[in-house]
Structure 1
Amino acid sequence: MMKDRYAAFGFSVPKYAKHTCSFHNLCDKNTIRTWNRKRFFSLLVANKRTSLVARRVMDTTTSYVTLERIADLVICPNCKNSLVSENNRKLTCLCCRRIFFQDPSLGYLNLCIDNSSGYRPLQQELFKNPVTSFLYERGWRNNFQSMGYTLKEEVKLVTDYFHPKNPDVLVDLSCGTGYVTRKLAKTRKYSRIIGIDLSENMLKEAYRRMLLEDCDLFTLIRANVSCLPVKDNVVDALYCGAALHCWPKVQDGLAEMYRILKPDALVFATTFISNYSPAFSRCNAYRFFTKKELEWLFKSRGFRQVNVQILKSPSIMQFVQSAIIRCCK
């Protein structure tokens, strides 16, 4: 209780404070004798200065999300026409005159047309939860580690696959909290990187981690995979990690992927597959594919050189395995 009262005034309880004393006797003579008065007020001032510095840092880091980087790549999600950047603060549609503002406190650009009915599939509701975004890099995403590889190994696989192409524009579709996005950005091999996700909380966590790691080399956009606000034939490489099984309509997402990619652009994706019948794969919130199904889904959308690699997993996880899909447009 005492800690909560101190927190309301913006400072923490000194370690040497007596637990028996209450907030109301802070200025009591006995308390002042017990504590060093100068030390007490220095703690108060120090905490206030820290909060001011933190706010200044947040103000300067808002320039990380630069709209000019992506103005020539994105389109209006409403009418599919070009957007123009104005003062690096907003994007305006030249056709429907709709304006998309950038909120510096959020760290991402919202180019998503929300579902007016309010209905969201269970897969989307789960990742909308702030608890999921908090736990995602703290263990959730490591489910793939028990199925064949770690996140660090996945980043290496992606960079090795994209290396011969030397892509200029790279998109991390369903980027989540942006772990792979940050690692790819730090390689400085790509001129522009865009992380796209539908979950606001995932993007907030991605922006928070971007600031912590001082990595300002990519842009975050909130959008739906079935209606990507990206121009046709502008993306050189696309990464989609641990996401296909979460999409409500995989065919629509793959069609959008194909549309935004340049000819011969590369795709690297990971997902779960099931060794059981297709009926099992649809009896839960996620969709567990089979190898043949993944090959058919990508080929039916026009992708070439589709290679689905099934990774070996421990015996305890034999009913579900991970798959890597490599292909090109």
Structure 2
Amino acid sequence: MRLLRLAFFTGHRRGEAAHRRRQGQEEATRGSHGGVQFQEIKTELNDASKTEVFACPVCYEPLIRKGPPGMNLPAIYRSGFKCSKCNKSFTSKDVFLDLTVTSGIKEYSELKPARTELFRSPLVSFLYERGWRQNFNRSGFPGRDEEFQSVAGGILVDVSCGSGLFSRKFASSGAYSSVIALDFSENMLRQCYDYIKQEETPMNTNLALVRADILRLPFASCSIDAIHAGAAIHCWPSPSNAIAEISRVLKPGGVFVATTFLSTPTNSGLFSIDALKPLRQIVGPVNSSYNFFIEGELEDLCRSCGLVNYSSKVQRSFIMFSRQKP
């Protein structure tokens, strides 16, 4: 599989944020968010500083940040975010920044399809790296080291990151100006944080935990250098809308790398037969099965969303493919 390389994103701040300087470090006491403790980086605060990349999931306008600069867990934990247009506010509760449309809502509740809600379960989140993910090798998934594709430099978003199996590896590689571990599941993000603590990953590593909807990515258009989706597309409620969002936020030259399961008689039954695939439109909406594709469908879908330079690697029902934003 061809490795597509990106220009390194320097991440330098301009304008009014340029005068900030690190003043030292000290242990933080328990903050207003709860019992989480971080190694604090003292900075001058600027109430009107813009984040490098975050945007409002409602109107896609840039978010204004109040708090210490930096794309790391301590800095984001202590920051508040507000949309410059609709004034919707976002905070980092628990250990992740919630950038969903429903963030802060008190009365309204919304359920996703069963395959999405499954991964919000505390039990499934706990088991994901404790046996669940390891079973993928039966379908041809070669394992984390072989599935890991380093796209050098810039801002990388690991969408549907789960418990951070790949996010942590991306962050520890030191090859990126920022790594954003993004998932809709609150419990998966908490598991990711627990693994970070267990692995003694420095808290000031350029790694952020963000809750967001793959169908409404909270980033400005043309702002992301690379997007990774490991074993995720088959779980998305609308893969077409999700890949359209991925295309929107990628910079020109940006790369989308993904792995998923190909359609087989084992996981798709009769729907793996090309002639019967149209029946999925009738049966699909009334069941909770995953979306499995043949390779031609994935290539066609990416092409329809404006992504080019398709390449792939297939091993049994495992596929890794990449596409690029022209």
In the other structure, the counterpart of 2:235 is 246
In the other structure, the counterpart of 2:57 is 77
1:201-216 equivalences under 5 Å are 201-215=187-201, 216=203
Deviation per CA, 1:90-121: give whole Å up to 9, x if none: 01112222211122xx2110000239462310
Asked if residue 86 in structure 1 is aligned to residue 66 in structure 2, the reply is: yes
Contact 2:235 2:290 in 1 (8 A): yes
Task: Rate the CA distance shift 1:274–1:54 in 2: closer, same or farther, 3 A.
Answer: farther
Deviates more, 1:81-90 or 1:69-78: 69-78
Q: CA deviation at 1:203?
A: 0.6
Largest Rg, 1 or 2: 1
Task: Letter of the 2:225 partner, please give it.
Answer: D
Q: TM-score scaled by structure 1?
A: 0.72
In the other structure, the counterpart of 1:182 is 168
Asked if residue 153 in structure 1 is aligned to residue 133 in structure 2, the reply is: no
Task: Letter of the 1:288 partner, please give it.
Answer: F
Asked if residue 59 in structure 1 is aligned to residue 37 in structure 2, the reply is: yes
Asked if residue 310 in structure 1 is aligned to residue 301 in structure 2, the reply is: no
Name whichever structure is richer in strand by fraction. 2
State which of 179, 182, 186 in structure 2 corresponds to 1:196. 182
Q: Which structure 1 segments of 5+ residues have no match?
A: 1-52, 313-320
> How much identity, in percent, do the aligned residues show?
34
Distance, in Å, in 2 between the alignment partners of 1:58 and 1:153 is: 34
Deviating above 4 A after TM superposition, structure 1's stretches of 4 or more consecutive aligned residues are: 53-57, 67-70, 279-284
In the other structure, the counterpart of 1:294 is 298
Q: TM-score scaled by structure 2?
A: 0.73
State which of 313, 320, 327 in structure 1 corresponds to 2:323. 327
Contact 2:125 2:163 in 1 (8 A): yes
Distance, in Å, in 2 between the alignment partners of 1:240 and 1:71 is: 24
In the other structure, the counterpart of 2:225 is 236
Distance, in Å, in 2 between the alignment partners of 1:108 and 1:73 is: 16
Deviation per CA, 1:247-292: give whole Å up to 9, x if none: 0100110011001101111121001111322357946520111111
In the other structure, the counterpart of 1:258 is 247
Asked if residue 96 in structure 1 is aligned to residue 86 in structure 2, the reply is: yes
Task: Rate the CA distance shift 1:220–1:210 in 2: closer, same or farther, 3 A.
Answer: same
Distance, in Å, in 1 between the alignment partners of 2:50 and 2:191 is: 21
Distance, in Å, in 1 between the alignment partners of 2:131 and 2:302 is: 30
Q: CA deviation at 1:182?
A: 0.5
Contact 1:232 1:261 in 2 (8 A): yes
- CA RMSD, Structure 1 to Structure 2 (Å): 2.6
What is the total number of aligned residue pairs between the two structures?
257
In the other structure, the counterpart of 1:119 is 111
Distance, in Å, in 2 between the alignment partners of 1:186 and 1:178 is: 12
Distance, in Å, in 1 between the alignment partners of 2:29 and 2:91 is: 24
Q: CA deviation at 1:154?
A: 1.3
